[in-house]
Chains A and B, each alone.
Chain A
Amino acid sequence: MSSPTTPPPRIELAHVTVRHGDVRALDDVSLVVDGGGWLALVGESGAGKSTLLRCINRLVEPSAGTVTIDGVPVSARDPVALRRSVGFVPQDGGLLPHWRAWRNAALVPWLLGRREARPLAERALARAGLDPGTMGERWPHELSGGERQRVAVARALAGGQSLLLLDEPFGALDAITRSDLQRMLLDLRRGDGGGLTMVLVTHDLREALLLADRVAVLRAGRLEQVADAGALAAAPATPYVAALLARAGVAA
């Protein structure tokens, strides 16, 4: 199998602030994701969780603070090369509609000039739970919403990425498809024996607690609480987190 070629990286965000004019989308957020760890960023819409995620692969540049991957500031890296090394799954898949599924999955190896792009893409499709022989030949519009997201996950992995950023990846899916895909992600992680560092953005606290090791709750650009999933459910640090837990039907 195509396990990642590099050990899963450690991510550190230190005092990250993002200003849009007068508005602080993120305000002095500091977080650590251990190598091979899985962090979920939770919050209501507008809390800044997607912005925080996008600081990691430089889709957003912080106004202040630093983001490092394995101790190297991302600001020191070429953004294009950085993005090719980081898997990214957007909410709506973002598949190129004029490319077949396999070619979408082969995007990053192809960009890297890897000759074995297609076999890498097919292996990644298989890891994401799709039969490359049949599904690989389909056009995006011939796939269901869940299948499209699986292709997007395959695309985020096919280049051998060891860091995966997931931005509300299942937000637009029905409950059954959603739980299938959640299981796929768990299998993916288990199959790789901790070879992936993952950051998941979700507004669904239950999903965060189900999937991630650690959960960070953001509220209006500020970090409300960060804790291991179990600890957070057991001991919310603020009334806001407690209320979120209650609304999600998790708290006692």
Chain B
Amino acid sequence: MPLVAALAAWSLAGRAAAAQGASDPVPARRPVVVASKPFGESFLLAEMFAQLLESRGIAVERRPGLGATEVAFAALRAGAIDVYPEYTGTGLLAVLHERPRGDAGTVFATVRREFDARWGVRWLPPLGFENSYAIAVRPETARRYALRTIGDLARVAPRLTAGLSPDFIERPDGLAGLASAYDLHFRAVRPLAQALKYRALATGGVDVVDGYSTDGLIARYGLVVLGDDRRFFPPYEAAALVGRRLRRDDPRAVAVLTELSGLIDAPRMRALNARVEVNGEPVARVAADALRELGLVGGGGAAPAPVATRPARSFWSYLWSERARLAAETARHLLLVGVSLLAAILVAVPLGLHLERTRRVAEPVIGGIGLLETIPSIALLAFMIPLLGVGVWPALVALWLYSLYPIVRSTYSGVRDADPSAVQAAHALGMTPWQVLRYVRTPLAAPSILAGIRTAAVIDVGTATLAAFIGAGGLGEPIATGLALADTRLILSGALPAAVLALLVDGFLALVERRVTPASLRR
């Protein structure tokens, strides 16, 4: 069953990719593809979009947790997804690369105009709340230093340690801009993952964190959000971002999505987020409740999608209870690794063997392939989206590209360095160059080739966990969702099987390596 499901989803992804051009005059009625970025609020809003559409009889396909803005927006632009929740400030800064300016209305008008003109992508009217960057401290800290605004914080910052998301530290409109706008300099700045930040703050590991103004966790820990008195942060109004295809082919779906505009205010969003992030309630249930409370759907609600819950059981019984999901995710993971690795072997081994015959170009070619390794995995996955959409195909191609280098390198060096005296003697006694390669160099290089394949396989198992960020599924899915929801148990339910899988794959290939090593070379 898991394999069948994986294959079905795979072919579906292929169709989505094929439909990306969207140039066919009679568009096939495909489900509306609703996506989200990998954090709790985005999951929740996307689920609300999905359930609202379903309640109006519109078929929906969910692609939650697409890794960060570049991936989600690239997928929207390419037509691989139809709608996802986005924030106007993010659109302005991260997509248009413009400087923060103006009030919420101006920013919305700007992104609406520019996105439409450049990509035919439409911002629906805002949902009704802003989720801006927030700088938060513990209540004791606020009381002790009388902190109400970031301006106040600047006075005492040299005594405090900040725990900030790496993203915020890097962005010019993040820490650097904030520091110059407020003359703000902390004693130390620690990069901390979203999921860990609040815990570190609550336990006193750090004194100041960045967060989002609608975070449910701010309420949970009773944190104090400091006011942005110099209006440094641009407005981040939440809205549905709709792709060109849906806009053109399905105006009814767009109209349904517009029903949510203006209905969700910040306190409501914070309360909904808290149910997911603090109480660990399933996203589907919280979304259904929210739509009911807003009067948009009637009693029954939609069938809940399988999303994490946080029951108070031991980790192992939790894993056991999730075994069906884990089996499916593991099968998908193996499919990703197996197919990409096999394809890499089919290309890289012959290429490595061939390069031995054309040594002058060998190092440049291998070096060029090696450059692929230097592309960060998420970036490579993001590059694939315009070409292949989201889902299994771009993940397979990215993993394939990553696997090439270790296999080409080890194949080439293995055949090149094969016992020179044996190679020379074989040549001197009348083997053709091809026979020398086939009967001498290749068998002698087999252990080296296998070692390269082993390296590639183990790297693949790890890298495949990132495939979840472009909707390819696998064991990265619980990791990505768990990171977004600060759910350690969920993270581990993906990370542990992935680690075990890496060990098993390595062990299995070690056995194969023994098999292919010429008996005489086993020592």
Interface string of B434-458 (1 = CB under 8 A from A): 0100011001100000000000000
Knowing A111-B431, A139-B520, A141-B520 are in contact, say whether A97-B426 is a contact too (CB < 8 A): no
Interface string of A99-115 (1 = CB under 8 A from B): 11000000110010000
Q: Is the beta-carbon distance between B443 and A80 smaller than 8 angstroms?
A: no
Q: Answer yes or no: A90 CB below 8 A from chain B CBs.
A: yes
**Within the assembled complex, what's the spacing in Å between the Cα atoms of A98 and B430?**
18
- Interface SS of chain B: helix
Identify the interface centre among A85, A94, A140, A156: most chain B CB within 10 Å of its CB: A94
Q: Is the beta-carbon distance between A96 and B428 smaller than 8 angstroms?
A: no
Measured between beta carbons, the chain B residues less than 8 angstroms from A72 are: none
Q: Is the beta-carbon distance between A90 and B430 smaller than 8 angstroms?
A: no
Knowing A97-B419, A97-B521 are in contact, say whether A80-B430 is a contact too (CB < 8 A): yes
Q: Answer yes or no: B421 CB below 8 A from chain A CBs.
A: yes
Q: Is the beta-carbon distance between B428 and A59 smaller than 8 angstroms?
A: yes
Measured between beta carbons, the chain B residues less than 8 angstroms from A57 are: 428
Knowing A88-B428, A108-B429, A139-B520 are in contact, say whether A94-B422 is a contact too (CB < 8 A): yes
Which of under 10, 10 to 19, 20 to 34, or 35 or more describes the interface residues of A? 20 to 34
Identify the interface centre among B419, B432, B521: most chain A CB within 10 Å of its CB: B419
Which residues between 140 and 170 of chain B lie within 8 Å of chain A, taking CB atoms? none
Q: Answer yes or no: A83 CB below 8 A from chain B CBs.
A: yes
Q: Is the beta-carbon distance between A94 and B424 smaller than 8 angstroms?
A: yes
**Within the assembled complex, what's the spacing in Å between the Cα atoms of A97 and B420?**
11
Interface string of B250-274 (1 = CB under 8 A from A): 0000000000000000000000000
Determine how close the nearest CB of chain B comes to the CB of A195; give it in whole angstroms. 20
Q: Contacting A107 at CB < 8 Å: which of B426, B443, B521?
A: B426
Determine how close the nearest CB of chain B comes to the CB of A206; give it in whole angstroms. 26
Q: Answer yes or no: A155 CB below 8 A from chain B CBs.
A: yes
Q: Contacting A84 at CB < 8 Å: which of B429, B440, B518, B520?
A: B429
A90: nearest chain-B partner, CB-CB? B425
Q: Is the beta-carbon distance between A80 and B432 smaller than 8 angstroms?
A: yes
A91: nearest chain-B partner, CB-CB? B421
Which residues between 27 and 71 of chain A lie within 8 Å of chain B, taking CB atoms? 57, 59
Q: Answer yes or no: B519 CB below 8 A from chain A CBs.
A: yes
Determine how close the nearest CB of chain B comes to the CB of A46; give it in whole angstroms. 19
Q: Is the beta-carbon distance between B421 and A90 smaller than 8 angstroms?
A: yes
**Within the assembled complex, what's the spacing in Å between the Cα atoms of A90 and B425?**
7
Q: Is the beta-carbon distance between A140 and B428 smaller than 8 angstroms?
A: no
Q: Is the beta-carbon distance between A98 and B425 smaller than 8 angstroms?
A: no
Q: Is the beta-carbon distance between B421 and A83 smaller than 8 angstroms?
A: no
A57: nearest chain-B partner, CB-CB? B428
Q: Is the beta-carbon distance between B443 and A98 smaller than 8 angstroms?
A: yes
Determine how close the nearest CB of chain A comes to the CB of B439; give it in whole angstroms. 8
Q: Is the beta-carbon distance between B440 and A96 smaller than 8 angstroms?
A: yes
Q: Answer yes or no: A92 CB below 8 A from chain B CBs.
A: yes
Q: Is the beta-carbon distance between B444 and A97 smaller than 8 angstroms?
A: yes
**Within the assembled complex, what's the spacing in Å between the Cα atoms of A230 and B85?**
100
A142: nearest chain-B partner, CB-CB? B520
**Within the assembled complex, what's the spacing in Å between the Cα atoms of A82 and B443?**
26
Knowing A84-B430, A111-B431, A111-B435 are in contact, say whether A95-B521 is a contact too (CB < 8 A): no
Measured between beta carbons, the chain B residues less than 8 angstroms from A160 are: none
B425: nearest chain-A partner, CB-CB? A94
Knowing A90-B421, A92-B421 are in contact, say whether A97-B520 is a contact too (CB < 8 A): yes
Measured between beta carbons, the chain A residues less than 8 angstroms from B444 are: 97-98
**Within the assembled complex, what's the spacing in Å between the Cα atoms of A94 and B421?**
5
Which of under 10, 10 to 19, 20 to 34, or 35 or more describes the interface residues of B? 20 to 34
Q: Contacting A95 at CB < 8 Å: which of B425, B439, B443, B518?
A: B425
Interface string of B65-93 (1 = CB under 8 A from A): 00000000000000000000000000000
Interface string of B8-46 (1 = CB under 8 A from A): 000000000000000000000000000000000000000
Which residues between 210 and 241 of chain A lie within 8 Å of chain B, taking CB atoms? none
Interface string of B454-473 (1 = CB under 8 A from A): 00000000000000000000
Measured between beta carbons, the chain B residues less than 8 angstroms from A84 are: 429-430
Determine how close the nearest CB of chain A comes to the CB of B160; give it in whole angstroms. 66
Measured between beta carbons, the chain B residues less than 8 angstroms from A88 are: 425, 428-429
Determine how close the nearest CB of chain A comes to the CB of B360; give it in whole angstroms. 19
Q: Answer yes or no: A246 CB below 8 A from chain B CBs.
A: no
**Within the assembled complex, what's the spacing in Å between the Cα atoms of A95 and B426?**
8
Q: Answer yes or no: A129 CB below 8 A from chain B CBs.
A: no
B444: nearest chain-A partner, CB-CB? A98
Measured between beta carbons, the chain B residues less than 8 angstroms from A8 are: none
Determine how close the nearest CB of chain B comes to the CB of A132; give it in whole angstroms. 18
Identify the interface centre among B421, B428, B432, B439: most chain A CB within 10 Å of its CB: B428
Measured between beta carbons, the chain A residues less than 8 angstroms from B440 are: 96
Determine how close the nearest CB of chain A comes to the CB of B264; give it in whole angstroms. 70
Determine how close the nearest CB of chain A comes to the CB of B209; give it in whole angstroms. 61
Q: Contacting B424 at CB < 8 Å: which of A90, A108, A139?
A: A90
Q: Answer yes or no: A81 CB below 8 A from chain B CBs.
A: yes
**Within the assembled complex, what's the spacing in Å between the Cα atoms of A94 and B521?**
15
Measured between beta carbons, the chain A residues less than 8 angstroms from B428 are: 57, 59, 83, 88, 90, 94
Interface string of B462-494 (1 = CB under 8 A from A): 000000000000000000000000000000000
Measured between beta carbons, the chain A residues less than 8 angstroms from B432 are: 80
B431: nearest chain-A partner, CB-CB? A111
**Within the assembled complex, what's the spacing in Å between the Cα atoms of A90 and B426?**
11
**Within the assembled complex, what's the spacing in Å between the Cα atoms of A16 and B105?**
91
B423: nearest chain-A partner, CB-CB? A94
Q: Is the beta-carbon distance between A98 and B429 smaller than 8 angstroms?
A: no
**Within the assembled complex, what's the spacing in Å between the Cα atoms of A10 and B231?**
99
**Within the assembled complex, what's the spacing in Å between the Cα atoms of A80 and B521?**
28
Measured between beta carbons, the chain A residues less than 8 angstroms from B429 are: 83-84, 88, 107-108, 111, 155-156
**Within the assembled complex, what's the spacing in Å between the Cα atoms of A141 and B522?**
11
Q: Answer yes or no: A93 CB below 8 A from chain B CBs.
A: yes
Interface string of A124-156 (1 = CB under 8 A from B): 000000000000000111000000000010011
Determine how close the nearest CB of chain A comes to the CB of B452; give it in whole angstroms. 19
Q: Is the beta-carbon distance between B430 and A140 smaller than 8 angstroms?
A: no
Q: Contacting B518 at CB < 8 Å: which of A59, A82, A97?
A: A97
Measured between beta carbons, the chain A residues less than 8 angstroms from B430 are: 80-85, 108, 111
12 contacts between A and B (CB under 8 A): A80-B432, A81-B430, A84-B429, A94-B422, A94-B426, A96-B419, A98-B519, A99-B520, A107-B429, A108-B430, A111-B429, A155-B429
Q: Sort A-B residue pairs by CB-CB distance and give the 9 closest, nearest first.
A: A94-B425, A98-B518, A84-B430, A139-B520, A83-B430, A94-B421, A88-B428, A92-B421, A96-B422
9 further A-B contacts with Cβ under 8 Å, apart from A80-B431, A97-B419, A100-B520, are A57-B428, A90-B421, A90-B425, A93-B425, A94-B422, A96-B425, A96-B439, A98-B443, A156-B429
Interface residues of B (CB under 8 A from A): 419, 421-422, 424-432, 435, 439-440, 443-444, 518-521
